[in-house]
Amino acid sequence: MKLPVHIQFHGMLPSDSLTHSATEHAHKLEAFASDIMACRVSLDQAEKHQHQGRPYSVRIDLTLPGHELVVNRVQHEDVYVALREAFANMKRQLEDVVRKRRGQVKHHETSQFLKPGELNE
């Protein structure tokens, strides 16, 4: 990546292991697009929820030339699971962008319906 991975912690103390894990996940994205300009990861620990404890939220902003990809609706009680799921979602978005760039977008064939009486018997 041209710029380093920026990691922010909100509502929780910074963690070296989380920073390392997020950085590793971000560098794996380079295998799909080498022209990633910036990757921002935000880890948030919400206030205690009535039924779920204290879920963690992960938001990822990825900047490519001409594209800004965002994953922001990932929550889980385990911060590592939330991080993994967020990067899996980002990977899918990135793969779609790369496919479109290469012109490998799937085109569905239009099927022709047979009219009654046109069956070959």
The predicted-structure confidence for 12-31, as pLDDT tens digits, reads as follows 999 999 999 999 999 999 88
What is the per-residue pLDDT for 116? 63
- pLDDT value of position 1: 52
107 part of a folded domain: no
Assess if residue 64 is contained within a domain: yes
Instruction: Round to the nearest angstrom and report the end-to-end CA distance of the chain.
Output: 62
Expressed as residue numbers, the domain containing 92 is 5-102
Instruction: Specify if 114 maps to a domain.
Output: no
CATH of the domain at 9: 3.30.160.100
Q: What is the mean pLDDT of residues 69-85?
A: 93
Please count the structural domains in the chain: 1
Is 84 within a domain?
A: yes
- pTM of the model as a whole: 0.78
Taking the CA of residue 62 as centre, how many other CA atoms within 13 Å lie in the half-sphere pointing to its CB?
29
Q: How far apart (Å, rounded) are the C-alpha atoms in residues 79 and 34?
A: 27
What's the one-letter identity of residue 10?
A: H
Tens of pLDDT, residue by residue over 98-112, are 888 888 656 566 656
Q: In this model, does residue 57 exceed pLDDT 90?
A: yes
Is 74 strand, coil or helix? strand
